[in-house]
Amino acid sequence: MSLPTRSATYASVIGAVLSEERERRVMTQSAVAAIAGLTQSTWGRMELGRACTLENLGKASIALNIKLWELMKVVDDRVSGLSEQGIQVVYELPSEEEIKANLDHWVTGSSQISKLSLIGLGVLSGAALGGVSSYISSIFKKS
pLDDT at 87: 86
Give the start-to-end residue ranges of the domains of the chain: 6-142
Between CA 55 and CA 63, with CA 60 as vertex, the angle to 5 degrees is 130
**Which comes out higher in pLDDT, residue 97 or 93?**
97
Residues 80, 19 contacting (CB under 8 angstroms): no
Over residues 31-46, the pLDDT tens digits come to 999 999 999 999 999 9
- What is the 3-state composition of the chain as percent helix, strand, coil, each rounded to the nearest 5? 65, 5, 30
Q: What does the pLDDT average to over 81-85? A: 86
6-142 to CATH, choices 1.10.260.40, 3.30.360.10, 3.40.50.720, 1.10.8.870 = 1.10.260.40
Chain mean pLDDT for the chain = 78
CA nearest neighbour of 91 among 14, 29, 23, 24: 14
Kindly report, residue by residue over 98-133, the tens digit of the pLDDT: 767 766 666 655 545 555 544 444 434 434 446 666
| Predicted TM-score (pTM) above 0.95 | no
What pLDDT shows up at residue 45? 94
Asked if residue 56 has pLDDT above 70, the reply is yes
